[in-house]
């Protein structure tokens, strides 16, 4: 047999799929893979059901339905004061994953350097490498997750095409501050580089913090591509409706990639997401409040079971240090161990690093029912405090 593509073949099955399968096999409560339970808005689902029955069910415009593109522009005006032309600056994709791939395939020329901040989401590196880009990794480490400004500046050069900036971050739950974003904006200008901004957790920001899109900073409108995901905003991750917002000169090459990746996204789901984005502030505030309460419930429970819990400012993940617990081994072994023996699944944080030297942290997802979180805590307490 002739060999398949060597770059993609060198990657294993994603840690999310691996841990979800293991959770299922052991009947464990799955706080691993980031998918919500019990938060799906019934009216948005009803709208999709209606749109499937009434149609249309044919290919929509490759850029997205006009109503969804208008709704995305209105959403970004409402929350960030942006003034977008929905026809030239908004494109709908099949999830943020496709948006990321379209941005990277559309912009990277083989040999271009791409700056990445570790820990990083799992789809970034394989796509960058498949596009011929050369990753330049900058490491952010627990417990502080501080931005290493010197290392970041040193990673940029004349060869830098772009940086991927995730905020709020998965898995660290960090929300980059105005000061950190100003610093990044300065680097983009100095090195004439772009930023692909993965902002899928834009509404999951807690304790009075504010999500600031990098694209809204002075001079950044021509340098940033802002990615969103309905999967996160409406707790419907299986829908895979996402989008990219960018100046026409940046969006055009990205659309060229999109037209050969998926071309379109189911029109009925686009109708429902357009409806959902127009929901009143009570929906958005309620989502944040509900998740903040679940974060607190899980954080307190994990601390009570002996974990050292790091603060989460955004996203729906908690990172916790398990080194004080009765376990000897790395984080992957730990996550398998608690799945098999305690009946609770988490994700090893080392999966988000290339260097495997962050070894005592596990990521727990709190976008779950209160019952599931409470039962998971009981199981961990019974197991570790027996
Ligand atoms: N980026 C980050 C940081 C994520 O956590 C996720 C979650 N899956 C995605 C992108 C992908 O989002 P989507 O499901 O819309 O493809
Ligand atoms: N974003 C989700 C997470 O971090 C999972 C996405 C996936 O399974 N690919 O858990």
Gap between the Cα atoms of 312 and 175, Å rounded: 9
- The CA distances from residue 304 to 59, 130, 383, in Å, are 52, 44, 12
Query: How remote is the CA of residue 229 from the centroid of ligand 2, in Å?
Result: 12
Domain parsing of the chain, residue ranges: 6-40+282-384, 49-279
Domain covering 49-279 assigned CATH 3.40.640.10 in the classification: yes
pLDDT-based confidence at residue 38 (cuts at 50, 70, 90):
very high
| Mean pLDDT value of segment 157-171 | 98
Could you please state the CATH topology (level 3) that the domain comprising 6-40+282-384 is classified under.
3.90.1150
| Mean pLDDT value of segment 281-305 | 98
Residue 230 CA, closest ligand 1 atom number: 15
The two tokens of residue 381 are 């307490």
pLDDT-based confidence at residue 386 (cuts at 50, 70, 90):
confident
Mutate to test the pocket of ligand 2, among 22, 33, 126 (most ligand atoms within 8 A of CB): 33
pLDDT of 298 strictly over 90: yes
Range with the poorest average pLDDT among 8-12, 236-240, 267-271: 8-12
pLDDT-based confidence at residue 323 (cuts at 50, 70, 90):
very high
The whole-model pTM stands at 0.97
Helix (H) or strand (E) holding 379: helix 370-384
pLDDT of 180 strictly over 90: yes
| Mean pLDDT value of segment 117-135 | 97
Domains 6-40+282-384 and 49-279 share a fold: no
The two tokens of residue 306 are 């002996």
Pairing type for strands 194-198 and 224-229 reads parallel
Q: Please, what is the average pLDDT of the chain?
A: 97
Query: How remote is the CA of residue 170 from the centroid of ligand 2, in Å?
Result: 9
- The CA distances from residue 253 to 108, 109, 257, 260, 278, in Å, are 10, 12, 7, 12, 29
Query: How remote is the CA of residue 1 from the centroid of ligand 1, in Å?
Result: 34
Backbone angles phi, psi at 356, to 5 degrees: -100, 50
Residue 232 CA, closest ligand 1 atom number: 15
| Mean pLDDT value of segment 79-100 | 98
pLDDT of 356 strictly over 90: no
Residue 227's DSSP bridge partners are: 198, 244
For residue 47, give the DSSP letter. Answer: H
| Mean pLDDT value of segment 281-296 | 98
Strand order in the sheet with 347-348: 308-309, 317-321, 361-365, 347-348
pLDDT of 293 strictly over 90: yes
- Asked whether the beta carbons of 224 and 214 are under 8 A apart, the reply is yes
Q: Is the dihedral of CA 311, 314, 315, 316 positive or negative?
A: positive
Mutate to test the pocket of ligand 2, among 15, 16, 18, 349 (most ligand atoms within 8 A of CB): 16
pLDDT of 355 strictly over 90: no
Ligand 2 neighbourhood includes 97 CB (under 6 angstroms): no
Ligand 1 neighbourhood includes 166 CB (under 6 angstroms): yes
Query: How remote is the CA of residue 16 from the centroid of ligand 2, in Å?
Result: 6
pLDDT of 325 strictly over 90: yes
pLDDT-based confidence at residue 350 (cuts at 50, 70, 90):
very high
């Amino acid at each position: 047999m002739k060999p398949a593509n060597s770059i993609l073949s060198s990657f294993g099955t994603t840690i999310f799929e691996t841990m979800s399968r293991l959770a299922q096999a052991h009947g464990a409560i799955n706080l691993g893979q980031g998918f919500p339970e019990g938060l799906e808005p019934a009216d948005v689902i009803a709208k999709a059901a209606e749109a499937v029955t009434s149609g249309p069910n044919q290919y929509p415009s490759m850029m997205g339905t006009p109503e969804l593109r208008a709704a995305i522009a209105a959403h970004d005006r409402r929350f960030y004061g942006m003034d977008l032309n929905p026809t030239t600056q908004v494109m709908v994709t099949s999830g943020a994953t496709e948006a990321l791939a379209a941005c990277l395939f559309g912009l990277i020329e083989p040999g271009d350097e791409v700056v990445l901040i570790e820990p990083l989401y799992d789809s970034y590196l394989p796509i960058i490498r498949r596009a011929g880009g050369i990753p330049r990794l900058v490491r952010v480490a627990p417990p502080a997750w501080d931005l290493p400004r010197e290392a970041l500046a040193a990673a940029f050069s004349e060869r830098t095409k772009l940086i991927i900036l995730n905020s709020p971050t998965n898995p660290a739950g960090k929300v980059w501050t105005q000061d950190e974003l100003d610093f990044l904006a300065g680097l983009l200008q100095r090195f004439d580089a772009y930023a692909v901004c993965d902002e899928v957790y834009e509404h999951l920001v807690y304790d009075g913090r504010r999500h600031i899109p990098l694209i809204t900073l002075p001079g950044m409108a021509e340098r940033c591509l802002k990615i969103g995901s309905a999967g996160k905003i409406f707790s419907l991750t299986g829908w895979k409706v996402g989008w990219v917002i960018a100046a026409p000169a940046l969006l055009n090459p990205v659309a060229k990639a999109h037209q050969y990746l998926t071309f379109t996204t189911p029109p009925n789901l686009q109708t429902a997401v357009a409806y959902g984005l127009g929901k009143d502030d009570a929906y958005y505030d309620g989502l944040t409040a509900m998740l903040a309460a679940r974060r607190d419930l899980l954080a307190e429970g994990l601390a009570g079971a002996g974990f050292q819990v790091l603060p989460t400012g955004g996203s729906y993940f908690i990172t916790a240090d398990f080194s004080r617990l009765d376990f000897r081994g790395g984080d992957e072994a730990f996550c398998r161990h608690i799945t098999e023996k305690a009946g609770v699944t988490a994700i090893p944080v080392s999966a988000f690093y290339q260097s495997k030297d962050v070894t005592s942290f596990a990521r727990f997802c709190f976008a779950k029912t209160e019952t599931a979180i409470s039962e998971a805590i009981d199981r961990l307490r019974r197991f570790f405090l027996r």
